[in-house]
Amino acid sequence: MRPLTDQTPKPLLRAGGRPLIDYQIEALRGAGITDIVVNHAHLGDQLVAYLGDGARWGVRIRYSPETDGALETGGGIKRALSLLGERPFVVVNADVWSDYRFTSVPTTSDRLAHLVLVDNPPHHRQGDFCLCGGEVGEHGGPRLTFSGLGWYHPALFADSPAGAFPLAPLLRAAMRAGRVSGEHHRGAWMDIGTPERLAELDRRLRRRDCADGR
């Protein structure tokens, strides 16, 4: 996302006149998720200054800073576990936008993860994982793209070391054990990974607001 992220952290980039993270917080609150942990590294002080304690959204926000350098997705979650409790928690990537409603939290105790998958976008035609009968795996059907939205049980990270590590190897190991469920979200979703896609989302949201009379 450079040069946009040289001065602004990704969650505070704006689309539709608002920071991306506003949409995520409102979707979480709409699903009754009001205890939120924000993991941050690059320009994290701007996030803290903007979000505060979350009171203006009706949520409670706490922070897990990556003070020793970028920890990747797995390492960042591992570091934040002390703030997340012992039950499954939802993780939302900073650079996605979606109309997903966060209502499918897994209820079976044997699941280590539940992933939201979407149709493959033009920039990722090969997809990531397969979904068959509610189970996510690397083989067994048409491939879909991981949306960056998912639920994880703390036990998924139990044997992981502290420090930086990616999330994908943990998920693949859990898939091989038959412990990852998933769903196919067919609604709106965008990966905001480039300035061009951010501009596209901005146009889309402004058209929507105009249609709604806002």
Going by DSSP bridges, is the β-strand pair 189-191/96-98 parallel, antiparallel, or unpaired?
antiparallel
At 140 the pLDDT is 83
pLDDT digits (tens, 9 = 90+) for 172-189: 999 999 999 999 999 999
- pLDDT tens sequence across 108-146: 668 999 999 999 999 999 999 999 989 999 998 889 999
At 66 the pLDDT is 87
pTM, full prediction: 0.92
pLDDT at 211: 63
pLDDT tens digits for range 8-42:
999 999 999 999 999 999 999 999 999 999 999 88
Residue 132's φ and ψ, nearest 5 degrees, are: -140, 115
Q: Where are the domains of the chain?
A: 4-211
Q: Which CATH topology does 4-211 take?
A: Spore Coat Polysaccharide Biosynthesis Protein SpsA; Chain A (3.90.550)
Query: Which token pair is 102?
Result: 């966060």
Q: What does the pLDDT look like over 182-213, one tens digit per residue?
A: 999 999 999 998 999 999 999 999 887 666 66
The Cα-based distances of 91 to 4, 105, 125, 202 in angstroms read: 24, 11, 24, 23
